[in-house]
Copies of this chain bind each other. A is one copy, B any other.
């Protein structure tokens, strides 16, 4: 947090670059922090916030419990910071891929496919579930998630829908008022994978295609 780690860089390796593995103090500290973050993520996903023991996190990270408190104020702020850190990478993605040249359907399909590959069927799916689970108890997380992911994602989706409407690819103009409808099957896929996959595996790809057919019209009407 308020670590002036810059100080350790003002001199650029006076001596001994130490072969290959970085062994400088700041590096090790960063490594440990990363290990804690990783371990904590695993534990929180597996047990939820309240049931996670920091002793277990420390053990899994290969670190003493006290070390956790060198990096985080307490369990709660660790949790919050963790989620934030994990979400940030996606904020980039949401804005990054500039609309390709093809049809809107192709763009939406590409987005959805990316979502399915990168989220559903990944540990990140459980992260989404974790946010759903703990959101009401951590309003700041729900706020952050809404601001950084949901509202942006929906805005982007709305723009795509509007484009599709002007191009005539989508006939239902009201859809622009409910971009959630575009996302809904993805959310269901994520939840399904977490809860029911072993009861009945879900072919999210096929479901997606059907969904797109409903919205854009079947590719071959008969």
Contact = CB atoms under 8 A, between A and B. Distances in A.
A142 B218 CA distance: 35
A214 interface: yes
A166 to B, nearest CB: 16
B47 A137 contact: yes
Interface of A: 46-51, 126, 129, 131-137, 142-143, 145-147, 150-151, 171-172, 174-175, 177-178, 180-181, 183-185, 187-188, 191-192, 194-196, 199-200, 202, 206-207, 209-211, 213-215, 218, 221
A49 B135 CA distance: 15
A139 to B, nearest CB: 9
A177 B185 CA distance: 14
Contact of A195 (B47, B129, B135, B181): B135
Contacts of A175: 210, 214
Contacts of A215: 214
A212 B183 CA distance: 16
A172 B212 CA distance: 11
A26 B181 CA distance: 50
Contact of A213 (B129, B135, B174): B174
A182 B34 CA distance: 41
